[in-house]
Amino acid sequence: MSLKEKIIAESQRLGIDKIGFATAEPFTELEASLHEQKERGYTSGFEHPVIEERIYPERTFENPRTIISIALAYPTKAKEPVPKDEKRGMFARASWGIDYHDVLRDRLQKLIAFIQTEAESLQQQESWRFAPQVDTGELIDVSVAQRAGLGFIGRNGLLITEEFGSFVYLGEIVTNIEFEVDEPVPFGCGDCMRCIKGCPTKALLGDGRMNAQRCLSYQTQTKGMMPDEYRKKIRNVIYGCDICQLVCPYNQGKDFHFHEEMEPEIDTVYPKLKPMLNLSNKEFKNQFGHLAGSWRGKKPLQRNAIIALANLGDRSALPDLLQVAKEDVRPVIRGTAAWAIGRLGKKEAAIWLEHLTELQSLEQDEEALQEIEKAMEMLS
CA nearest to 305, candidates 289, 321, 292: 321
**Rounded to an integer, what distance in angstroms lies between the CA atom of residue 16 and that of residue 238?**
29
Strands (E), the chain: 18-23, 66-73, 90-91, 130-133, 152-153, 159-160, 168-175, 237-239
Number of Cβ within a 10 Å radius of residue 123: 8
CA nearest to 182, candidates 54, 19, 65: 19
Question: Listing from the earlier edge strand, what are the strands of the sheet with 130-133?
Answer: 18-23, 66-73, 168-175, 130-133
**Rounded to an integer, what distance in angstroms lies between the CA atom of residue 144 and that of residue 162?**
16
Contacting residues for 153 by C-beta, under 8 A, at least 6 apart: 142, 143, 146, 159, 160, 187, 208
Give the residue numbers annotated as catalytic, written as ranges: 135
CB distance 111 to 14 below 8 Å: yes
Contacting residues for 204 by C-beta, under 8 A, at least 6 apart: 155, 156, 157, 195, 196, 210, 244
Q: Is 25 helix (H, G, I), strand (E, B) or coil?
A: coil
